[in-house]
Chains A and B, each alone.
Chain A
């Protein structure tokens, strides 16, 4: 049972525009959410996170929004750059030990 879902396998965006990556989850008890970025032939790297007590967290060009009532989070990248082209995974955790990852969204930023 996939508790974290990323329904868009891929996304293409023009350089300089906003990229919005979406993630839905089913377990309302999750208390922490994370986004990871993955380049080919490398392991995922941590990007940004948000606690369930917040609805927004910003770090430079990256902002994560959390809508608990909709069990939905999104990652906004503004402005998008070609180097942002990668696979993005969202993840959720309840206890900080076991993590549930989505299937990833492949972002392509077109120069």
Chain B
């Protein structure tokens, strides 16, 4: 158990809908990262937050947004969902902003299926 929790575990929804994925980092970790893993694809970095502020942005679509709250949990919002958004979404946390100095701990992921 990495100490990172993600809810829900599974989510099935229809095209055009909006969903929110939630992540609670390990106790004390200030950084949260979001990744998308589509079928047969590697982990695609989406976005990183550090202590409530956006720190780095990767291949995140404009239809997607995220935020980190004062209690350090984070939410990833996906809107106008398309079939291609079906994927595993992972959240990871680390103690500080520069993760190589502090390894990332991954949650179990949320599997999103868009029908």
Contacts and interface: CB of A to CB of B under 8 A. Distances in A.
Interface residues of A, number: 27
The interface centre, meaning the residue of A2, A36, A95, A96 with most chain B CB atoms within 10 A of its CB, is: A96
Given A44-B90, A89-B43, A98-B45, A32 B103 contact: no
Contacts of B109: 43
B25 to A, nearest CB: 12
Interface string A80-108: 00000000010101011111111110000
A43 B103 contact: no
A44 B100 contact: no
Contact of A46 (B48, B57, B98, B103): B103
Nearest to A6: B42
A64 interface: no
Contact of B45 (A6, A89, A101, A104): A101
Interface string B1-45: 010100000000000000000000000000001010000111111
Contacts of B103: 34, 46, 49
Given A43-B106, A103-B41, 18 more contacts: A2-B42, A32-B100, A34-B100, A36-B106, A41-B108, A44-B90, A46-B105, A95-B98, A96-B97, A96-B99, A97-B55, A98-B48, A98-B57, A99-B45, A99-B99, A101-B44, A101-B45, A104-B42
Interface of A: 2, 4, 6, 32, 34, 36, 41-46, 49, 51, 89, 91, 93, 95-104
